[in-house]
Structure 1
Amino acid sequence: MELRQVRYFLALSETRNFTRAAEMCDVTQPTLTLSIKKLEDEMGGPLVHRERGNTHLTQLGEMLLPFLAQVYESSTAASRLASEIAHGERVPLNFGVSDVVRKALLIAPLRETGNAAEGLELHVEGGSDGDLVQRLVDGVLHLALVDETAISADRLRFHPIYREALSVLMLADDPLTESNRLRSADIVGRPWITLDGSPVHEALQTRLQSMSAEWTPRHRANRSADAQILCLAGMGLTLIGQQEPVLPGLVARPLDDVSLSRTIGIAEARGRPLSSTALSFTRLLRALSVA
């Protein structure tokens, strides 16, 4: 089935006249008649009753009409979108941002990208590092700003943007806040909120379990923002990045005897071409090199 055959059939269904349908499609009547006949052969039966002065659709034609109309509309819409993208009239950019990322970092690069690409259609999606990386691999996202530890090196390319230390997060009235710096022994007996899939959390858990075989994290969260909510509710301690926004009512204290840090950067799929706009946006982010 060819798209022009569908177009001719739709014109005939509208005009109910071969001559007017041919004029509408800017073809000769024999050309249109032949195309309709070929379409009927492919559909397995007549689509049109050819009666002098009373051309109308058969039952099969009536049943197929909405489906063929949808096929034609979808195809022409796809062609139009491809043309608009090819000519820069529309520039889609699907960008994932981990909830642990300092969002203010994005303002200048986004502003410059928007000024340079008039047809920019930006879709920003937040979430956990693991979820965003999976959507990047699946092709839903073009780029993602995530923790390096979430990256699969064989499938994704990673460009570091900044590195930050992690500290212990607690309620502002917690007795531990009396000290400016903590040690592992200070927190080993306290309820803990761990972040699923976080190697940094896992490293600290391993150390705490080596100090107390009975120690286990009591609560779990999929996103850092959710871990903060649990912490604010008094459910336990957790970790937070140095540049991560902290909810009111919580404070952070560094650990002296454990080195905890993570690297945040831009991830893209290997072997998957990016638009010039996406490449430009990536370069702007990489140029920041925030310490």
Structure 2
Amino acid sequence: MELHQVRYFLAVASTLNFTRAAERCNVAQPALTKGVQKLEQELGGQLIYRERRLTQLTDLGKEILPMLERTLASAEAVRRRAQEFQRKEVAPLKIGLAPSISASLVLDPIAETAKFVPGLHVELREEAAEKLVDLLLKGEISAAMVGEVQDMPARIDDWSLFEERYVAVLAPTHELANHSSLGIDDLRETILLERSGCDITPKIQRSYSPEEPFHLRHSGSNDLHLQHLAAAGFGVIIAPEHMPRLATLKTIPLEGDLVSREVRLLAVQGRRYSPALDAFVKVARLRDWSAVVRTA
């Protein structure tokens, strides 16, 4: 079945006249008639009665008419979408963010990208860093912003954007809330909330307090769950300073910036970039993040 055959049939169904249908389709009547006949052969049944001046749809023709109308409408929508994409009138950009990466960090790069790509259509998706790498390779997202990723595949392009420190996140009513900064001794004396699978607390433990273990009483696999525990006074979270957090929580710097991380931009190596992705990668890589990260 070819689209021009569908178009010819729909024109006849609308006009019930082969001459007017041919004029509407801008083809010769014999060509239109031949196209409809080929469609009938492919579908295995007559679609149109032709009796002198009388032209009517058969029962089969009436049955498939709405389906063919939808088929043609869908095909024309696909064609329009493709033309809009080529003219940059529609430019999808799917960005993955690790749970600890604030969406506020990508707003300015997105706004700058929109200046070059007027039809920009952004979709933000939050997943664990390793999951985002998998989504990149599958083509389900365009780019990702993450912290540390274990075993980065060779097919992933990886650019460092900026470095951010870790801070203590706690309730304003916590006994340490009035401190201007927290040192290793403060961390030893309080209860720390640990995110499952996160290596930050053990890293601080190994580096600064190998002989005196931290008090790790509560844990969770979800940042928001841990924040609710912290807000209820159950302990302190060690988290990236730009991690999205509850408004009821307070952050306190760690003395000497005990630990920090690089925030990285990922894309698939060797894959042809869309206009939107190309602009976003360039804007993000050329951006001066130094002033942004301290105020985000």
Q: Give the TM-score taking structure 1 as reference length.
A: 0.82
Instruction: Tell me, in whole angstroms, the C-alpha distance in 2 between the residues paired with 1:42 and 1:237.
Output: 70
Which residue number in structure 2 is paired with residue 183 of structure 1?
Answer: 184
Q: Residues 111-141 of structure 1, C-alpha deviation per residue, up to 9 Å, x if partnerless?
A: 3222222232333344544454443333232
Which residue number in structure 1 is paired with residue 110 of structure 2?
Answer: 110
Which residue number in structure 2 is paired with residue 54 of structure 1?
Answer: 54
The number of residues matched between the two structures is 288
Which residue number in structure 2 is paired with residue 26 of structure 1?
Answer: 26
Which residue number in structure 2 is paired with residue 35 of structure 1?
Answer: 35
Instruction: Tell me, in whole angstroms, the C-alpha distance in 1 between the residues paired with 2:30 and 2:270.
Output: 48
When residues 217 and 72 of structure 1 are mapped into structure 2, their CA distance, relative to the original with a 3 A threshold, is farther
Q: Name the Cα RMSD after superposition.
A: 3.3
Q: 5 Å matches for 1:1-291? A: 1-149=1-149, 152-177=152-177, 180-183=181-184, 186-187=187-188, 190=191, 192-194=193-195, 196-200=196-200, 203=203, 218-222=218-222, 224-244=223-243, 246-253=245-252, 259-291=258-290
Tell me if the contact between 1:193 and 1:235 (Cα under 8 Å) persists in the aligned partners: no
Amino acid at match of 1:267: L
Runs of 5+ consecutive residues of structure 1 not aligned to the other structure: none
Percent identity for Structure 1 against Structure 2? 30
When residues 212 and 119 of structure 1 are mapped into structure 2, their CA distance, relative to the original with a 3 A threshold, is closer
Amino acid at match of 1:159: W
Instruction: Tell me, in whole angstroms, the C-alpha distance in 2 between the residues paired with 1:62 and 1:76.
Output: 22
When residues 25 and 247 of structure 1 are mapped into structure 2, their CA distance, relative to the original with a 3 A threshold, is same
SS at 1:50 equivalent: strand
1:58 shift after superposition = 2.3
Instruction: Tell me, in whole angstroms, the C-alpha distance in 2 between the residues paired with 1:69 and 1:227.
Output: 53
SS at 1:22 equivalent: helix
Instruction: Tell me, in whole angstroms, the C-alpha distance in 2 between the residues paired with 1:230 and 1:103.
Output: 23
Instruction: Tell me, in whole angstroms, the C-alpha distance in 1 between the residues paired with 2:24 and 2:134.
Output: 48
Tell me if the contact between 2:17 and 2:55 (Cα under 8 Å) persists in the aligned partners: yes
Instruction: Tell me, in whole angstroms, the C-alpha distance in 2 between the residues paired with 1:205 and 1:52.
Output: 93
SS at 2:124 equivalent: strand
When residues 102 and 250 of structure 1 are mapped into structure 2, their CA distance, relative to the original with a 3 A threshold, is same
Q: Give the TM-score taking structure 2 as reference length.
A: 0.81
1:262 shift after superposition = 2.1
Tell me if the contact between 1:200 and 1:262 (Cα under 8 Å) persists in the aligned partners: no
Tell me if the contact between 2:88 and 2:275 (Cα under 8 Å) persists in the aligned partners: no
Runs of 5+ consecutive residues of structure 2 not aligned to the other structure: 291-296
SS at 1:5 equivalent: helix
SS at 2:289 equivalent: coil
1:178 shift after superposition = 5.6
